[in-house]
Amino acid sequence: MTGREVDVAIIGGGQAGLATAYYLRRAGIDFVILDGEAAPGGAWRHGWDSLRLFSPAAYSSLPGWPMPPGGDDYPSRGAVIDYLTRYEQRYALPVERPVQVQAVIYDGDRLRIETDKGPWRARGVVMATGTWRHPHVPHYPGQELFEGQQLHSAHYSGPDRFAGQRLLVVGGGNSGAQLQAELSLVADATWVTERPPVFLPDDVDGRVLFQRATARIKAFQEGRAPDAPPGGLGDIVMVAPVKAARDRGNLGSVRPFARFTRTGVLWTDGTETDIDTIIWCTGFRPALDPVAGLDLIEPDGTVALDSTRCRRNPKLWFVGYGTWTGPGSATLIGVGRSARDTASEIAAVLTGFPT
């Protein structure tokens, strides 16, 4: 069986896949989106219940159609899922789901995409699988001895099941701050960070961060070093629950423990603490299993690219994984830039003419 033929297959139907599809549709390219989820929404379907964006709807939109404003300043996870669902419908994007992509392999002058619903063949493949399927948990000595529960933020839904427990929330980013904020209301939660967290001013949100990122891109394009913004770019945004935790004194953090024990952890000063659950807010790695057999993945888990095009296999593009696929490309508003450039390059390659 040779499989269904298409010019371009996009693997992943989240925000990166949809943004790329929007521009491919405008360029008149024949494509399909192969999505492993049961319904629209991408990784947002798996966020915790209280998750909110750092920016208003107008600063959290995909190309072509602004996210409709809602009743809250910062859209909820549910609002984002609704927006992505309606975005698919608005542009009648050809999404096949649920389709589990098992491998991308060479097939003459094409790539063959092996799936649980049968193969596809494409002239080009856009990897837009994101990172949610590859949560990262660091290794600590004695970890295998710990008899309590360990949970990554990827699988956290809400605080109620942890009421009354002794918890460690491990990780110094925005997810760690948000989970610490809400868990500290119901449990004895200790926040563990590699170094003291740095909080952005209360009036700085995703709008300001996007403006800063844009200024950095412009500086690089002009061949000059970008100015260092006050507070940095990757620090913790003071959304309302985080502000409230700070105001009640629940947002302090401690440095990492030395090792696990059977019932908890041993700290560097020799003291021990019994722990019921450890929640890892320690990030993700690119979910690149479908191309693992192509010998493309670097030791750091990324792929060498020219813009978003793979250097070792020019039939592959990578969109939406983070800085290595374009500044801001892992965000709703930031992915449009990478998606536009990717679709333009694909159109030029397939037609032989620049767009």
Tokens for 180? Answer: 């610490």
Determine the pLDDT at residue 8.
98
The hierarchical CATH code for the domain 143-199+236-280 is 3.50.50.60
Do the domains 143-199+236-280 and 4-134+284-351 match in fold?
yes
Determine the pLDDT at residue 54.
74
**Domain 4-134+284-351 fold:** FAD/NAD(P)-binding domain (3.50.50)
Determine the pLDDT at residue 1.
40
Tokens for 82? Answer: 């609704």
* DSSP code per residue over 291-320: GGGGS-B-TTS-B-EETTEESS-TTEEE-S
Q: Structure pTM?
A: 0.87
Determine the pLDDT at residue 304.
96
Determine the pLDDT at residue 56.
77
| Angle (CA) 134 115 119, round 5° | 145
130 vs 113, 230, 330, CA distance in Å?
18, 29, 8
Contact 126, 20 (CB under 8 A): yes
Determine the pLDDT at residue 202.
74
Helices (H), the chain: 15-26, 77-90, 174-183, 206-221, 240-247, 335-351
Determine the pLDDT at residue 208.
58
Residue 25: count of CB within 10 angstroms of its CB: 17
What are the residue ranges in the chain where pLDDT is below 70?
1-3, 71-73, 204-234, 353-355
| Angle (CA) 241 235 160, round 5° | 30
Percent of the chain scoring above 70 in pLDDT: 88
Rounded-to-integer distance, Cα 289 and Cα 302, Å:
12
User: H/E/C letters for each residue in 111-173?
Assistant: EEEEECCCCEEEEEEEECCCCCCCECCCCCCCHHHCCCEEEEHHHCCCCHHHCCCEEEEECCC
| Per-domain boundaries in the chain | 4-134+284-351, 143-199+236-280
Tokens for 65? Answer: 């159609």
21 burial class (0-12, 13-18, 19+ CB within 10 angstroms)? buried
Tokens for 69? Answer: 């404003």
